[in-house]
Amino acid sequence: MGNNVLRLEHCTMQFGGVVAVDNFSMEVNEHEIVALIGPNGAGKTTAFNFVTGVYEPTNGKVFFHDELMVANHPAGKMKKLYKGDPDQICEKIVRKTPDQITKLGIARTFQNIRLFKALTVFENVLIAKHMHAKSGLLKTAMHLNYREEIQMRKEAMELLEMQNLAAYRNDIASSLPYGQQRHLEIARALATNPTLLLLDEPAAGMNPQETDELAAFIKKTKEDFNLTVFLIEHHMDLVMGISDRIYVLDFGKMIAHGLPADIQNNDRVIQAYLGVEENA
Ligand SMILES: Nc1ncnc2c1ncn2[C@@H]1O[C@H](COP(=O)(O)OP(=O)(O)OP(=O)(O)O)[C@@H](O)[C@H]1O
């Protein structure tokens, strides 16, 4: 596939004997919105975590724009414990830190909002800009590169304007309504100039109206910033409304992938997840 932005090949993540993600292969193509869904504990956040360098997968490869970004194979105690497919053991080891992965162009938000709660809205975005600065965090934090600092402040303000957060710029982040905090998290992720944006349950805790607004916001943000989006979400209206394609995990294994209409009518998915929600 020539236009892969993200590609996972035979990724397994095992915590001791627990196989959180089991031999998972998938891809996200340029300018797509792709969703990863599945019941609680299916392995979705774990997949995000090894894509963003929080965990090393026990086995498998992750490619970003067709370049090998992460690769690992079971070693040490895990050689014995490994429950994944023995025919798909990866030979290479490639490790990148979350910071290096951010610099490559992947940004993410978290299931539990992780803002700098005591700082202002503006400072939250500016700090993300500093982390991406050419001069390095220390120099920029100490305002040693004046011209770059001015430019970053300008861009941080533009981001807040585009995300309708400019009016809150001097407010303390934790004082924002919950929905606005989620928008601020997205603005902060965008401050690192990503080409791929990972959203982990962006609509968590939102009411139906906020969720609808968020769906429109994600689509617009994708266009405005020329992004590819990979998201985890439990709100099925949002997922079905904005996703180009959907992958479904259940107990770490991929049980389906396809277009929203196909996923909605897939018996295994209904049984594993959608059915549970309908009956809830
Ligand atoms: N650091 C860890 N150590 C041990 N087990 C873990 C760890 N992280 C996740 N797990 C386990 O891996 C499995 C998958 O968890 P994960 O959080 O990825 O699921 P999820 O699909 O994101 O669930 P949810 O929708 O509830 O957020 C679960 O059984 C979980 O308990």
- Over range 176-193, report the average pLDDT: 92
What confidence score (pLDDT) does residue 279 get? 41
Give percent of the chain above pLDDT 70: 92
Q: What is the pLDDT of residues 55-87, one digit of tens each?
A: 999 999 999 999 999 999 999 999 999 999 999
Between 131 and 80, the more confident residue is 80
Average pLDDT of the chain?
91
Q: How confident is the model at residue 3 (pLDDT cuts 50, 70, 90)?
A: confident
Nearest residue by C-alpha to atom 2 in ligand 1: 15
Architecture of domain 106-193: 3-Layer(aba) Sandwich (3.40)
CA 227/CA 260 separation, integer angstroms: 20
Q: What totals of helices (H) and strands (E) does the chain contain, helices first? A: 12, 10
Q: ipTM strictly over 0.90?
A: yes
- pLDDT: which is higher, 131 or 68: 68
Residues ≥6 apart with Cβ < 8 Å to 36: 26, 44, 47, 48, 230, 231, 232, 246, 247, 248, 249
**Which residue has its alpha carbon closest to ligand 1 atom 5?**
15
What average pLDDT score do residues 180-192 get? 93
Q: Which residue has the tokens 């929203």?
A: 260
> How is the chain split into domains, by residue range?
1-105+194-279, 106-193
Q: Ligand 1 centre from 7 Cα, in Å?
A: 21
Q: How many A from CA of 28 to the centre of ligand 1?
A: 22
DSSP lists the bridge partners of residue 248 as 37, 256
Q: What is the pLDDT of residue 134?
A: 59
CATH of 1-105+194-279 given 3.50.50.60, 3.20.20.100, 3.10.20.30, 3.40.50.300: 3.40.50.300
CA of 201 to the centre of ligand 1 (A): 14
CA distances from 134 to 104, 152, 153 (A): 13, 11, 14
The pTM (predicted TM-score) of the whole model is 0.91
